Structure 1
Amino acid sequence: MLERVRGIICYSMYKMSNIKSKITHLIEDKMFETFMFINILGYALFKISYRPLGDIFQSFIVLGFLLFLFCNFKKAIKDKAFICLFLSILLTCLSWINSTFQIPHLAKDSPNIGILADLFFFIFIAYWLKGSIKKVRTLWLFYAIGVFLTALIHSNDILADIMNGIAGQRIDFNYVNANHLGALAGITFLISCYYTFTFKPIKSKIFITLFILIPSLFITIVTQGRQIWLAILITSILTPIVIFIFSKKINVKSLIIILSTLTISAYLAINTNNRLHNENYLIPIILSGDINDIPYSSMGIRIHFWSESIPWIKNNLFLGTGEDTRSFVIQESTNLPQEIKSKFTHLHSGHIELIVSYGLLGIVLFLYIYTLIMYSSTFYKKNNEVLIISTMFILFFVIINCFESFLFFKTGEYMINIIFGGIYTFYLTHNLSMKDNNE
């Protein structure tokens, strides 16, 4: 009997080893890698422009990565971003448990582990990019096309939207709201500015300028997002400083890029001046410290929401009380008028929503991720290209999330996974190759 059991175990182990060998051969095949890269490009094109199709491409990417995990779980589990993925799931569970004690009448029946975990899909993308700068550039190009497709597909009348935008109206292209498409186009504009100046072939410069830079600039202008041009402006100023800190040098070409971007950003600021000046009267009221006197304008609503968040943060400082807290802050308020409570469901600040939902541990987790991505960008050794893009995106994303909740919308998830995936691939590929050499 014992011999039979041993025989069954040995046979099972042999079959498992044989299956792993076949799957390893499959995922290392160039044709399969090409297939996965095509799915990544499909995800970039359609995830937000036409989600049903984008979800199909995403499913294939997940399936391909699961095959990799089946054969290489011991290697993958040691990756820092992969560990953070598991920590994000643990954090959502802990925050949910805390909510069942702190706000039992509002707590959900179960935790939504995907709310943070979905932001780590960039790991799957990073693996299949295989540390190839050509694939990364192609992915970011398809991201830009995906943004334009979003405007085209979601708009009820694209020609009317374009003409109305030229006439000075604020246009949202029927996608969420104007701030969201403005954010998507804003980072496209920044990245295309960089490549316009750095690519040497004149044909590449002309292509990027005509088909990427100008359309993204147009969308950024007509969506009139104040936080978008503010983010572009600050990013333009801080990027050369950050690059110098990391690399101890900065070339003249980089300065030209930043100064040129800064000039265009100034134009964006002028373009949105009317919306900005409309709320100038709030400044002395805010400085007076009397929240009750602040009217419920666009900025005033945000300030009221952020003020209402303070007690929730104090009461659940470390763990928060789950992803729905951003709605509870508004709905449970005794200070906000009913018309505001019935109209809004989130706090219009990704950072504040992160801390009310997941506490200081949530903030620490994302600070570490941002740091890891910046560090990962240095693993592309040829030049500062990836480091500059990484710096631009993180600065831009952090700033726009001060005034809007992109972090908890599909818009922010899409931005993070595409840009972070293109950055993290160099670090991930390097680490996996080092592990292969050590075995």
Structure 2
Amino acid sequence: MKKSIGFSLARMRRVDILMGVLAVAYAFFWLVNLEISRSAEILLLLSFLFSWVGESDRATKYSWIFLLLVAFVVLQISVHQFSVARFPADDSITSERHYTKLFLCLMIAWWVKGSSSRALTILIATLAGFWVSLIWQGDWQSWWAGVQGKRVDFDYHNAQHTSVYFGWALIAALTWLGHLVSSHGRAWQLSLSVLLSLVALVGVIVTQTRGVWLALAVVFVLIAPYLCYRLFRVHHGKATKPRTLFVMVAIVMAFLAFGATQFDRLIEKRLDKEASVMQTAAELDWDSIPYSSIGIRLHTWRYALEKIAERPLTGWGADSRKYLIDEGPFPQAIRDRFGHFHNSYIEITLAYGLIGLTILGILCGAMWEGVRQAYKRGHRYLATGLACSFVFFAIANLTESYFIFRTGIYFVTIVGGCALSFYLFRPHVKGTEIASPDAELVDHGQGES
């Protein structure tokens, strides 16, 4: 990097190192200690701004991606005026900042710079933070209660959020396992990946979140063909050994047998619980739909769509969901208990209309293109893990409003930031890491997440 606006190469390198330390701290402490993570977030943002000012490559510095942030902030300012006037008790600054934080993915992308090693570093730090927090605040009583059929949340926000953590950890562990099997990883690595996969699988089951189960089912339908292709293809000129195939089949059979024997009744009970509600909903008999788990969602979604139709372009404001529910035709118990609509896409459209949804959709489109760029440049297991994570989170958000909570912010910032970096720092951009077409992690001591 050349000198730019008085910033020396040595100083920019020191800023880059500082950003790396802060990014890892931000990612690792997201569930371990939120105050540390938030402190790292502020310092990381300042470091990012310093680095952006000193960037000499104008194509990267003035990428159109940054205009999305400007457009979104302008939209927020305009909607804020309406929201304050419409809801006199509105205190939307915090909620508005929450939506703006989705663009923190830019600072992560800026540090990752299209490097698979940096992306893996921050992804592993994030997942390690989850596992450490689980060990720290989880206990055997919760696990035992979950195995016995009780829905548990391990003292996180609620069971739905805990289930998403386990679901993402399961995707990461299985992606790592697939890489290790195809590249003949060490025994301890295979053992660790299998253990993490098994614990995450049990965690997904005992948190009993149907939306997460659906999301994982779709992901595995998409990921299984690719992993089978990787497993059976010729690797470094040698066909996959029968022993490797046996190990993989044995692992899959063990997972299926474990789930079938230990949790079949729990899963069947959870899936059947709302079957009658779904049948009533299919008949469009709204008066007969009870306010059960799915029934609450259906009733509130119907009402939300009516409110969206009233202000389709710019929405009602970031904090309007609470007041709109209070004004809705719901029993008082529902008004007192719920302050959101259990669907992130409805939440975003209610808050900022189709314009806001489009802006964030374009940002996500750039992230998806980043995943494709990573795959093209040879980081295929990393790209597969990112793609599966995106599909998983996108489906999970159909039945829960993760985007308006910390879970959504950190997912978009970290996973989305890693993906976005491969778009923002494409091969023609200086400092971009370019791998060979078949390159993966050469050192078996590392694993993709």
TM-score of the two chains, using structure 2 as the length reference: 0.81
Deviation of 1:269 (Å): 8.0
Q: Which amino acid aligns with 1:79?
A: S
Deviation of 1:406 (Å): 0.1
**Structure 2 residue 411 is matched with structure 1 residue 392:** no
> What do the CA deviations read for 1:176-201 (whole angstroms, capped 9, x no partner)?
10110110120121121111011222
User: 1:185 matched to which residue of 2?
Assistant: 166
CA contact (8 A) 1:49 1:147 kept: yes
Match of 1:140 among 104, 108, 123: 123
> What do the CA deviations read for 1:135-190 (whole angstroms, capped 9, x no partner)?
222222222221123334444xx122122223232110111101101101201211
User: 2:237 matched to which residue of 1?
Assistant: none
Q: Which amino acid aligns with 2:165?
A: L
User: 1:198 matched to which residue of 2?
Assistant: 179
Change (3 A) 1:92 1:150: farther
User: 2:12 matched to which residue of 1?
Assistant: 27
Match of 1:55 among 38, 43, 47: 38
CA contact (8 A) 1:373 1:424 kept: yes
Q: Which amino acid aligns with 1:165?
A: G
Structure 1 gap ranges (5+): 1-16
Change (3 A) 1:260 1:315: farther
Write the distance in 2 (CA, Å) between the matches of 1:118 and 1:385. Answer: 28
Q: Which amino acid aligns with 2:16?
A: E
Q: Which amino acid aligns with 2:119?
A: V
CA contact (8 A) 2:28 2:129 kept: yes
**Structure 2 residue 206 is matched with structure 1 residue 225:** no
**Structure 2 residue 331 is matched with structure 1 residue 346:** no
Write the distance in 2 (CA, Å) between the matches of 1:26 and 1:99. Answer: 44
CA contact (8 A) 2:60 2:424 kept: no
Deviation of 1:44 (Å): 1.4
* Identity across matched positions, percent: 22
Change (3 A) 1:90 1:328: same
Where does 1:360-375 land on structure 2 (aligned, <5 Å)? 360-375=354-369
User: 2:444 matched to which residue of 1?
Assistant: none
Write the distance in 2 (CA, Å) between the matches of 1:415 and 1:160. Answer: 29
Structure 2 gap ranges (5+): 234-244, 433-449
Deviation of 1:416 (Å): 1.5
Determine which structure has greater relative contact order: mean sequence separation of CA pairs < 8 Å that are 6+ residues apart, divided by chain length.
2
Q: Which runs of 4+ in 1 moved over 6 A?
A: 256-259
Other structure's SS at 2:62 match: coil
**Structure 2 residue 233 is matched with structure 1 residue 238:** no
> What do the CA deviations read for 1:273-330 (whole angstroms, capped 9, x no partner)?
2122111111221122122211111111111111111221110001101111221221
Write the distance in 2 (CA, Å) between the matches of 1:182 and 1:109. Answer: 28
Deviation of 1:435 (Å): 10
User: 1:404 matched to which residue of 2?
Assistant: 400
> What do the CA deviations read for 1:193-248 (whole angstroms, capped 9, x no partner)?
111011222243233222x323322321221111111100012223578x89xxxx
**Structure 2 residue 339 is matched with structure 1 residue 358:** no
Change (3 A) 1:25 1:266: same
User: 1:97 matched to which residue of 2?
Assistant: 81
CA contact (8 A) 1:75 1:432 kept: no
Match of 2:281 among 276, 286, 289: 286
CA contact (8 A) 2:162 2:207 kept: yes
> What do the CA deviations read for 1:359-382 (whole angstroms, capped 9, x no partner)?
111221232122211111232201
> What do the CA deviations read for 1:394-430 (whole angstroms, capped 9, x no partner)?
2111111110000110011111111112222222233
Write the distance in 1 (CA, Å) between the matches of 2:84 and 2:232. Answer: 55
User: 1:14 matched to which residue of 2?
Assistant: none
Write the distance in 2 (CA, Å) between the matches of 1:45 and 1:126. Answer: 17
Change (3 A) 1:63 1:432: farther
RMSD (Å), alpha carbons: 3.2
User: 1:382 matched to which residue of 2?
Assistant: 378
CA contact (8 A) 2:31 2:133 kept: yes
Q: How many residues align?
A: 407
Change (3 A) 1:364 1:253: farther
TM-score of the two chains, using structure 1 as the length reference: 0.83
Write the distance in 2 (CA, Å) between the matches of 1:66 and 1:270. Answer: 53
